[in-house]
Amino acid sequence: MSDETTVGREPVQIVELEQPACASTYGIGTCAAVVNDTGTRKCFNTRSSCQDPDNYDPTALLVWRFAKPAAVLPRDLYEESGFATFKTNPIPSLLSVSTNPTRINVGGGGRDSSPLGRRSTVSITLQDHLWDDSIGDFYSAERPLALWDDVTEKLPGEQYNPLERGTFWTKWLARNPYHSRFLVRVYDGYLGQDIDDMQVRLYILDHIEGPSSDRVVLVAKDPLRLADGKRTQFPAVSDIELAGAITDIQTAAIDVSCAESELTADFGNTGATRYLRIEDEILEYTGHAASGVNWRLSGVTRSSLGTTAAAHDDEEKCQRVGRYEALEVWNIAADLLLNHTSIDSDFIDTDQWDDEGEAFLSPFTLTGTVAQPMPVVTLIGELTEQCPFYLWWDEREQLIPIRAVRPPIGDIVKTITDESNVLRDSSVLREDHDQRISRIFLYYDEKDPTKAAGDIGNYSSIRGRIDADAESEDQHGDVRIRQIFSRWLTTGPQAIQTTARLLARFRDQVQTLSLKVDAKDRAISTADVIDVTARAVVDETGSTVTSRWQVVALEEIVSGETVRLDMQRFEFLGRFWIWADELAPDYDAATDGEKEDNAYYSDDDGSPGDGDFGYQWV
């Protein structure tokens, strides 16, 4: 039991809203013609108020900071960098910050959340108030009343008073209607701490509610929301039509009507070889050339990718087809996110993805066809379920990491106990029986990608696995079936690994453990593997035992004071490592570091030497 807290340290929470702004000074350079020729009122350095859109330059930043009115904050946070960046002192209008943390779906196999887990969201409630436009309107001193309204009580040319016109948020919303992808940061720290040393979480603004009752609510979500079904599809919906009927054997003089970009867009890694679906046929083409107002396809192959050629009518709708050939699973996922959503490439550390993939996912080199537009999140969900990996938004590191479903090889396994970390009476153990499975059937090596996914006859192979013990009366006593229809898997070893992993993980009820720790333990992160000693977990005698768990969600429920950890029983127990280099020394001669970095054969007694526990093959 731990009663230690951060006593004496006053928590501080600061919210930032990053507003892109035009870097051009109004009336100088490219904007001069607007001032001299139109005579209209000056802009607010935002896109909606710009009168010269061709020269709009949104490379400047105006960063609004907000804090709670009662917070005693340093007043030296204001930063200025030329005309490019302005960061305000905290405006005392923050009322509350409410979060729903990221919840990872390890391996994509859990059916209680989306394939990418639960997206993290934050709701920030702010008080609306009068605002003098000292920041936000760089030309307020130059605005004559005559250019604003028809009020005649004041003399023409008399300066307007911004405090008499609107409130902070009514004016901000009028000036920034295109705000749905602005960045939002939440800083959690302590009084006296520099803002750069505080813990920071990053989100993307989704929408703003209000003003209502003098309040607004900023609703922001993690960047993986940009991969959901409403926003992104692979391949994109095509606007292509046949420009003339074709026979079932025709390969020349096939014309289509569309923008050229419809034919050249890349959907996969097949290079100049591209695919077009017409009804239930997929044809292949390698080039195109102008044919009057249309485009004539060249290098055409009919009845491609297992489909059957047919005659097609004039003006028949056509759809581009996505295809990956012999590409590693992590590179498919990266391509889907980076090239077919609006997720910023800065959010993916490609070195980390390559290191993890090459070490643990190399057997999953895949070939797959997507014959109709599908949400990117759905396709990545298929990959995470059928190949042993998962990804999530790390709001603290501001990255999307990738992790294979694997032992904690090379990772530090943290330890928490009732005595040192867990807050009194906060441990809760739960079991989820709904996700249990006792038999799994995987259909793979797809024949015709235009057919329905659930068509059993459309797959060349099936891999079934049944756990009869789990179905017996002296264990769970019922049958739980999962079927998977794979467009990606093509080999028996891939299917064996997938079915074995899923059945092993879900043959029994999924156990979860929730507990609270003090903010001093906030260094724990989502996806960390932890050895836990808590009174909620005991053996058959009732004695407390140490067990291994993985953090699937983490939430700072009281800023600066209390963190809740939601964990799932970790499935890898034992000593694991990867195959050692052939030049590695024998176990007896190896250093402690080499024993940690390499795997060794065990003796007949299961030990590599000195009575140590043996390694297990991953």
pLDDT 10s digits, 130-140: 998 888 887 77
pLDDT, position 155: 47
Backbone dihedral angles phi then psi of residue 144, each to the nearest 5 degrees: -75, 150
> Are 313 and 342 within one domain?
no
> Are 60 and 177 within one domain?
yes
The pLDDT of residue 37 is above 60: no
Let me know if residue 535 belongs to a domain: no
> Are 238 and 144 within one domain?
no
Cβ atoms of 397 and 467 within 8 Å: the answer is no
| 469 burial level (CB within 10 Å; 0-12, 13-18, 19+) | exposed
Give the sheet arrangement for strand 529-538, strand by strand.
414-417, 529-538, 544-558, 562-569, 510-518, 428-432
> Are 184 and 266 within one domain?
no
Q: pTM, whole model, 2 decimals?
A: 0.83
Q: Of 470, 486, 506, at which residue does a domain stop? A: 506
> Are 108 and 215 within one domain?
yes
How many other CB atoms are there within 10 angstroms of residue 7's CB atom? 8
pLDDT, position 388: 83
Let me know if residue 520 belongs to a domain: no
Higher pLDDT, 563 or 51: 563
> Are 398 and 382 within one domain?
yes
Let me know if residue 416 belongs to a domain: no
3-state secondary structure of 56: coil
Let me know if residue 35 belongs to a domain: yes
> Are 160 and 68 within one domain?
yes
Q: Of 324, 342, 377, at which residue does a domain stop? A: 324
Q: Is the torsion defined by CA of 329, 331, 336, 338 positive or negative?
A: positive
Rounded Cα–Cα distance for residues 252 and 301 (Å): 10
Total domains present in the chain? 5
Residues linked to residue 548 through DSSP beta bridges, in sequence order: 531
Could you tell me the CA-to-CA distances from 278 to 219, 240, 315, 347 in Å, in that order?
Answer: 42, 10, 11, 37
Predicted confidence band of residue 610 (pLDDT cuts 50, 70, 90): low
User: Which of 371, 543, 549 lies closest to 447 in space, CA to CA?
Assistant: 371
Rounded Cα–Cα distance for residues 95 and 93 (Å): 6
State what percent of residues in the chain have pLDDT above 90. 50
Cβ atoms of 55 and 71 within 8 Å: the answer is no
Half-sphere exposure of 375 (CA within 13 A, CB side): 15
The pLDDT of residue 66 is above 90: yes
| Full residue range of the structural domain in which residue 597 is found | 574-618
Higher pLDDT, 88 or 218: 218
> Are 65 and 206 within one domain?
yes
Rounded Cα–Cα distance for residues 498 and 385 (Å): 8
Higher pLDDT, 155 or 510: 510
Helices (H), 316-473: 329-339, 350-360, 376-386, 468-471
Let me know if residue 275 belongs to a domain: yes
Predicted confidence band of residue 445 (pLDDT cuts 50, 70, 90): very high
> Are 111 and 209 within one domain?
yes
Kindly report the average pLDDT of the chain as a whole number: 85
- For the CA atoms of 260, 266, 267, 270, the dihedral, rounded to the nearest 10 degrees, stands at 120
Q: Of 343, 375, 403, at which residue does a domain stop? A: 403
Let me know if residue 517 belongs to a domain: no
Let me know if residue 256 belongs to a domain: yes
Q: Mean pLDDT across the stretch 330-346?
A: 95
> Are 163 and 22 within one domain?
yes
Rounded Cα–Cα distance for residues 400 and 120 (Å): 12
> Are 19 and 133 within one domain?
yes
Q: Mean pLDDT across the stretch 240-249?
A: 97
> Are 154 and 281 within one domain?
no
Give the highest mean pLDDT range of 15-29, 71-85, 110-124, 532-546. Answer: 532-546
Let me know if residue 78 belongs to a domain: yes
How many other CB atoms are there within 10 angstroms of residue 140's CB atom? 17
Maximum pairwise Cα distance, the chain: 100
pLDDT, position 579: 58
Q: What angle do CA 449, 453, 458 make, to 5 degrees?
A: 65
The pLDDT of residue 376 is above 70: yes
Predicted confidence band of residue 616 (pLDDT cuts 50, 70, 90): low
